[in-house]
Amino acid sequence: MFAYIIRRILYAFPILLGVNALTFSLFFLVNTPDDMARMHLGTKHITQEAVDTWKEERGYDRALLWNDGAKGIDKVTDTIFFDKSFSLFAFEFGQADDGRDIGADIEARMWPSLAIAIPIFIIGILVNVTFAMLMVFFRASYLDLSGVILCVILMSISGLFYIIGGQFLVGKTMQLVPVSGYETGFGALKFIILPVLIGIVSGIGTGSRW
């Protein structure tokens, strides 16, 4: 089990590098920094000086992948690709165009997401494994057949239906929990119960069957 975990962690590095390279290509090769500058500044009556100033302010005036004008290791490090990639892997996300700190925004908003994702992950695994073991234990019985039919039905329903149906039935009709919103501390429980329940129920079909 430990070797499997290490192997999966090692697999993550080339995947992250590949995703980073693909994202960089979409942002900087399909649309050049000059194109981005003109889209931000406007397509009419824009001088090249304004474009160059916009690029310089954001560090986009350097070479993309390889800097022929630099010496030694700077040929690689003094590029947009290295600077942006290194900062991302160091969790330095910079600032948005309006001056907001992107890292601070992520830090402030990730806790509600984790409050929903972690319970769904842990409880979902327990529910899926338990349901799957019951079907295996009662293999070739009516319980097994009923479980398979239920899993197929649950897999056939769109996740959006679970969300809308859960909000309408539990939140609006029965008024057991709020339809939307969030609070800090223990007040968050009433807001995360419904999303966690929807996430667990919607994943039973796929998680138990496969």
Residue 30, domain extent = 2-97
* Alpha-carbon distances, residue 74 vs 32, 70, 84, 86 (angstroms): 22, 6, 15, 14
Q: Domain boundary at 58, 78, 97, which?
A: 97
The verdict on 87 and 144 lying in the same domain is no
Ranges of residues in the chain with a pLDDT under 70 are: 1, 43, 97-98
The verdict on 119 and 50 lying in the same domain is no
Give the integer Cα–Cα distance in Å for 130 and 200: 13
Q: What is the pLDDT of residue 93?
A: 82
DSSP per residue, the chain: -HHHHHHHHHHHHHHHHHHHHHHHIIIIIIS-HHHHHHHHH-SSS--HHHHHHHHHHHTTTSBSS--TTS-TTHHHHSBHHHHHHHHHHTT---B-TTS-BHHHHHHHHHHHHHHHHHHHHHHHHHHHHHHHHHHHHTTTSHHHHHHHHHHHHHHHS-HHHHHHHHIIIIIIIS-SS-SS---SGGGGHHHHHHHHHHHHHHHHHHHHH-
Q: Which residue has the tokens 């073991």?
A: 133
Q: What is the pLDDT of residue 43?
A: 67
The verdict on 30 and 116 lying in the same domain is no
Q: Which residue has the tokens 């998680």?
A: 207
The verdict on 188 and 133 lying in the same domain is yes
The verdict on 84 and 111 lying in the same domain is no
Q: Domain boundary at 42, 68, 97, which?
A: 97
The verdict on 26 and 92 lying in the same domain is yes
The verdict on 119 and 30 lying in the same domain is no
The verdict on 88 and 137 lying in the same domain is no
Query: How many structural domains is the chain composed of?
Result: 2
Q: What is the pLDDT of residue 166?
A: 92
Give the integer Cα–Cα distance in Å for 125 and 116: 14
The verdict on 33 and 65 lying in the same domain is yes
The verdict on 71 and 116 lying in the same domain is no
Q: What is the pLDDT of residue 117?
A: 95
The verdict on 41 and 83 lying in the same domain is yes
Give the integer Cα–Cα distance in Å for 102 and 111: 15
Q: What is the pLDDT of residue 96?
A: 74
Q: What is the pLDDT of residue 70?
A: 79
Q: Domain boundary at 97, 118, 152, which?
A: 97
The verdict on 10 and 68 lying in the same domain is yes
